[in-house]
Amino acid sequence: MGVTLTETAARHIAVNLNKRGRGIGLRLGVRTSGCSGLAYKLEYADDVRPEDHRFESHGITVVVDPKSLPYLEGTELDFAREGLNEGFKFNNPNVKDACGCGESFNV
């Protein structure tokens, strides 16, 4: 199942990667954030590490480290506009509840 991108997200990532001038794709992950569960990690990927899982979606390479994958399995990354703000949004079926601001979540 892995991780997928919406077409809008893929388009924005392609633009960003192009602007940055280097990087093979996108790295998604989770990290434990202090007391309240987990937070997402969204970074440019400069390399694929041997242990990484690799997905292709709308022409973009997405890598996920094996420790993060169970938390992200089935996630769709979307690009959304909310008022004046725009950015990436994780539609993650594993999430049970999220904190108010949505930066950290529980599975």
Partner 1 sequence: MALLQIAEPQQALPKKPQRRAVGIDLGTTNSLVATVRNGIPVVLADEQGRPLLPSIVRYGESVEVGYDAQAAQSHDPHNTIVSVKRLMGRGLADLSDARRFPYRFIEAPGLVQIQTRTGIRTPVEVSSEILKALRLRAETSLGGELAGAVVTVPAYFDDAQRQATKDAARLAGLKVLRLLNEPTAAAIAYGLDNGSEGVYAVYDLGGGTFDLSILRLSRGVFEVLATAGDTALGGDDFDHRVYCWILEVSSIGPLSAGDTRLLMMKAREAKENLTLHASAPIVATLSSGETLSLTLTVDTFASITQTLVGKTLGPVRKALRDARLDPSQIKGVVMVGGATRMPQIQKAVAEFFGQPPLNNLNPDQVVALGAAIQANVLAGNRAEGEDWLLLDVIPLSLGLETMGGLTEKIILRNATIPIARRQEFTTFRDGQTAMAIHVVQGERERVADCRSLARFELRGIPPMTAGAARIQVTFQVDADGLLCVSAREQTKGVETSIEVKPSYGLSDTEIARMLQESYAHAADDMNARALAEAQVDAERIATATAGALQTDGGLLLAPERDAIEHALAEVRRLISGEDRRALQAAVDALNRVTEPFAARRMDRGVARALTGRRVDALN
Structure tokens at 15: 């633009």
Question: Does residue 70 bind partner 1 (CB under 8 A)?
Answer: yes
3-state secondary structure (DSSP) of residue 4: strand
Question: Does residue 15 bind partner 1 (CB under 8 A)?
Answer: no
- Chain positions 80 to 99 lying near partner 1, rule: CB under 8 A, are 80, 82, 85-90, 98
Q: Which is nearer to partner 1, 56 or 86 (CB)?
A: 86
Total residues at interface with partner 1 (CB under 8 A): 36
The answer to whether 74 touches 93, Cβ cutoff 8 Å, is yes
Q: What residue has token string 């529980």?
A: 106
Strands (E), 21-103: 25-32, 38-45, 53-57, 60-64, 76-82, 85-91, 97-98
* Alpha carbon separation from 35 to 93, 105, 106 (Å, rounded): 22, 11, 11
Closest separation in Å from C-beta 42 to partner 1: 5
Q: Which of 3, 5, 45, 62 binds partner 1 (CB under 8 A)?
A: 45
Question: Does residue 24 bind partner 1 (CB under 8 A)?
Answer: no
**Which positions lie near partner 1, rule CB under 8 A?**
13, 16, 26-27, 31-32, 34, 37, 40-47, 51, 66-67, 69-71, 80, 82, 85-90, 98, 101-103, 106-107
